[in-house]
Amino acid sequence: MLLITEIIDEYELDVVCEQKEDKKKTFKIKGPFLQSEIKNRNGRIYNKQLIEREVGVFTKEKINNKRALGEMDHPPTPTINLQNVSHIIENLQMDNNNAIGIAKILDTPKGKIAQTFLESGVKLGVSSRGVGSLNGNHVDDSYHLITVDLVCDPSGPDAFVKGIVENKEWIMDGNTFVEKAVEKLEEDLSKHGSREILRDIQTFLKNIEW
């Protein structure tokens, strides 16, 4: 499967600043996080049933378990890097053909950067990140939503706002995505009879925190 990101830049996000009694501010953003039934600026189309399915799965598996973390900018892999987490998605619901989300900016290093931007009036956008295959210009049923990330200046130059379809292929290993190159290496080693080396590689890969 390919890594696919889509920037939602047709809408401005609503920004809500809540101040507690200790004067500590909490920022939340709200707006369309996913879109369906239209050809986006990357020329891709997601059908509504696919987005509805992924919203349901994402809500059940991640939002309800407080695991719906997102990062700043465009990570080059399907995995979540905790060092770059800036927000947590608290809600995601369908509204006609769009999925409307609410995300809270966290008090993390990247979250503090995002908060500074918001306080200064910098326009932030969102970018969905998922893996899947393409059938022409349609994203097919293999698509899996990973998260929704924060991006800066989504209305900037085309070189910046184009969604990324990485050349790397990704496969699911349990609950973790790994590069298909790893699978190819294991296959080649197995074919050539290097079973001891293969076992060592498999043991090594299982102990890596992807």
Q: Which residue has the higher pLDDT, 200 or 109?
A: 109
Confidence at 24, pLDDT banded by 50, 70, 90: confident
Report pLDDT for 121: 87
Report pLDDT for 104: 96
Buried b (16+ CB within 10 A) or exposed e, 99-117: bbbbbbbbebebbeebbeb
pTM of the model: 0.76
pLDDT in tens, 109-133: 999 999 999 988 888 889 999 998 9
Report whether 147 contacts 27 (CB < 8 A).
no
Token readout for 93 is: 């619901």
Report pLDDT for 64: 98
Cα(111)–Cα(86) distance, rounded to whole angstroms?
A: 4
pLDDT in tens, 129-156: 999 899 999 999 999 999 999 987 543 3
**CA distances from residue 210 to 53, 143, 147, 173 in whole angstroms, order as listed:** 26, 20, 16, 11
Report pLDDT for 8: 80
- Between helices 195-206 and 180-191, what is the axis angle to 10°? 160
Name the percent of the chain lying above pLDDT 90: 48
Q: Please provide the average confidence, as pLDDT, over all residues in the chain.
A: 80
Confidence at 209, pLDDT banded by 50, 70, 90: very low
Token readout for 78 is: 């399907």
pLDDT in tens, 170-199: 565 556 655 655 555 555 555 655 556 556
Report pLDDT for 158: 37
